[in-house]
């Protein structure tokens, strides 16, 4: 058992980070909020980038049930969230969960709605990521940002398509199918992309939103593990002008 006494960016208080496994990404848990390293990294970046995040318009797609998601939902005055449900119309509310149904590839929100758009380990499950990045940029206010985590499995290698969809909607597997947990679907979420650091160029070109990858390694904050990079994609205050 690994234990380290430090300070949790989510709890904003001293905490002990414990792991029974050397794979810290899924096992280095905060004693206070139960968060994982990537969630603490996300919250630190949100706090650093937008210190007044409690007061701005935030939307989180596919929130979790611990750590950063709970903090944002509890403290932020203008927080909203959504999940994707295959069996109800987009923009409607799932009466069983109270969650709004949204598809990142075709959001039902109006233009310039949110200051911050948050996703945690979601964009590796999207069939048309360029379309999703454009949609997220559309619903951001000028000067807003998409702040998110995604495992950059391929690191310096080129991002690789893991699964795609044919014109008739059939799933095409380019590698053995891989699924991650999904709080809204017991079948889990199919991995469609293994991203690398070139995700920056993909987003910048597709959505015209300058993008950067932030890597934090700070055991004092419980932020130490593989694949815990945080990505910020900024919507410019005004569109580029051509002369």
> Are the C-beta atoms of 41 and 230 separated by less than 8 Å?
yes
pLDDT for res 43: 98
Q: How far apart are CA 82 and CA 230, in angstroms?
A: 21
What is the tens place of the pLDDT at every residue in 54-88? 999 999 999 999 999 999 999 999 999 999 998 89
Q: What are the φ and ψ backbone dihedral angles of 73, each rounded to 5 degrees?
A: -65, -35
Query: What does the pLDDT read at residue 182?
Result: 66
Q: Give the least confident one: 102-111, 166-175, 208-217.
A: 166-175
Alpha carbon distance 106, 77 (integer Å): 26
| Cβ neighbourhood burial of 181 (10 Å; 0-12, 13-18, 19+) | exposed
Above 70 in pLDDT, residue 106? yes
Instruction: Name the phi and psi angles at 199, rounded to 5.
Output: -60, -30
Range name among 24-33, 155-164, 186-195, 219-228 with the lowest pLDDT average: 186-195
- Name the band, by pLDDT with cuts 50, 70 and 90, for residue 171: very high
Count of CB atoms within 10 A of residue 47's CB? 15
Collapsed DSSP state (helix, strand, coil) of residue 44: helix
Q: What is the pLDDT of residue 243?
A: 30
Res 242 pLDDT > 60: no
Length of the chain: 243
List the alpha helices (DSSP H) in the chain: 24-27, 37-49, 67-75, 129-139, 199-207
Domains of the chain: which residue ranges? 52-234
Q: What is the CATH number of domain 52-234?
A: 3.40.50.150
Q: pTM, whole model, 2 decimals?
A: 0.94
Say how far apart CA 100 and CA 84 lie, in whole Å: 8
């Amino acid at each position: 058992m690994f234990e380290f006494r430090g300070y949790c960016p989510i709890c904003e208080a001293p905490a002990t980070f414990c792991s029974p496994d050397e794979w810290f990404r899924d096992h280095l848990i905060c004693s206070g909020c139960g968060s994982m390293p990537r969630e603490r990294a996300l919250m630190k970046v949100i706090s650093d980038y937008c210190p007044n995040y409690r007061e701005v318009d935030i939307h989180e797609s596919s929130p979790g049930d611990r750590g950063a998601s709970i903090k944002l939902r509890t403290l932020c005055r203008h927080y909203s969230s959504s999940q994707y449900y295959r069996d109800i119309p987009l923009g409607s509310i799932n009466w069983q969960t109270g969650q709004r149904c949204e598809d990142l590839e075709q959001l039902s929100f109006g233009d310039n709605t949110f200051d911050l758009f948050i996703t945690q380990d979601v964009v590796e499950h999207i069939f048309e990521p360029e379309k999703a990045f454009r949609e997220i940029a559309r619903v951001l206010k000028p000067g807003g940002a998409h702040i998110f985590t995604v495992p950059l499995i391929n690191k310096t290698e080129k991002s690789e398509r893991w699964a795609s969809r044919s014109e008739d909607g059939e799933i095409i597997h380019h590698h053995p199918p891989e699924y991650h947990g999904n709080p809204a679907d017991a079948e889990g979420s199919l991995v469609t992309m293994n991203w690398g650091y070139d995700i920056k160029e993909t987003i910048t070109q597709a959505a015209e939103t300058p993008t950067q990858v932030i890597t934090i390694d700070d055991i004092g904050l419980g932020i130490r593990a593989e694949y815990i990079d945080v990505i910020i994609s900024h919507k410019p205050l005004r569109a580029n002008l051509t002369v």
